[in-house]
Amino acid sequence: MIIDCHGHYTTAPKALETWRNRQIAGIKDASSMPKASELKIGDDELRESIETNQLRLMKERGSDLTIFSPRASFMAHHIGDFNVSSTWAAICNELCYRVSTLFPDHFVPAAMLPQSPGVDPKTCIPELETCVRDYGNVAINLNPDPSGGHWTSPPLSDRHWYPIYEKMVEHDIPAMIHVSTSCNACFHTTGAHYLNADTTAFMQCLTADLFKDFPTLRFVIPHGGGAVPYHWGRFRGLAQELKKPLLEEHLLKNIFFDTCVYHQPGIDLLTKVIPVDNILFASEMIGAVRGIDPQTGHYFDDTKRYIEAAQINPEQRYKIYEGNARRVYPRLDARLKHRGT
């Protein structure tokens, strides 16, 4: 089985974006604020949005199951207050859950949290509990920068985040550390902000002792880990100067990287530098990079091609495709075992 750990609902019906635009307008004019019940999206619309997009490409490219979360750039936690984010997160999470019920063999939900700048992360716990308990979510997406590119929150190692970590440990779920839209003109959302955040999250963990407090906590850093695997010597050297243990002992029991690296040399370097036990297959399909590479004639985000061409053995390929996901996402593994797969 080939498990894609990084899928977003980027092809949701247009009605979702229309409702969101009304919600944003309602922040300034309360009389125009829509109710969640006013959003009407039928099952047939959901089926069409999936069958003609993600599911079609999954079948064409040979992947089986996607861990599916709301569209990352749409999370936009910097917009409005906690009530705005709470309503928006609940709507988006429910849609991903409905997709998972319509296509249970192909999609498993992961939750966005109703984060808001300057708001205690404890406020996210009711939505997290709902998603795990009622929707069967196997993971969360955690935004280390709800401010949208201004980085006003404490680092991930700060006790500010501990309420979320305590729930993650209780439910045995990992977090993909994933920012949302940048509203800072200095940082392009997908070309800079995403990759900067991946690198920043790793460095925040390197400089602290977070995993001493939470030894079973698991983070997936997307987009191939930002700059980390490609400057591994720098990070190893910084850890040494900071009197930290070797990175392989200090962080790689808790941190994992996905394969959203859209060219063969990048995947080759990733698999040479990072232990295979810490790499999970992912595509971010129909996400930030959707075009065809003129050098290869294939889609940039057809990441399975890169794994197939990488100089790794069948056992290592199995770990990247399936084994590591089952280990990092225990609730997913339990679900698959219940299905007999």
Active site residues: 284
State how beta strands 140-142 and 111-112 pair.
parallel
Within 8 A by CB and 6+ apart from 57, the residues are: 285, 286
Task: Say how far apart CA 209 and CA 49 lie, in whole Å.
Answer: 43
In this structure, which long-range contacts are made by residues 292-298, counting pairs with CB atoms below 8 Å and at least 24 apart in sequence? Answer: 293/262, 293/263
Q: How many residues are there in the chain?
A: 341
Task: Say how far apart CA 96 and CA 101 lie, in whole Å.
Answer: 9
Within 8 A by CB and 6+ apart from 33, the residues are: 22, 23, 26, 27
CB-based contact 78:119 (threshold 8 Å) = no
- Exposure b/e, 7-39, CB count within 10 A at least 16 = b: bbbbebbeebeebbeebeeeeeeeeebbeeeeb
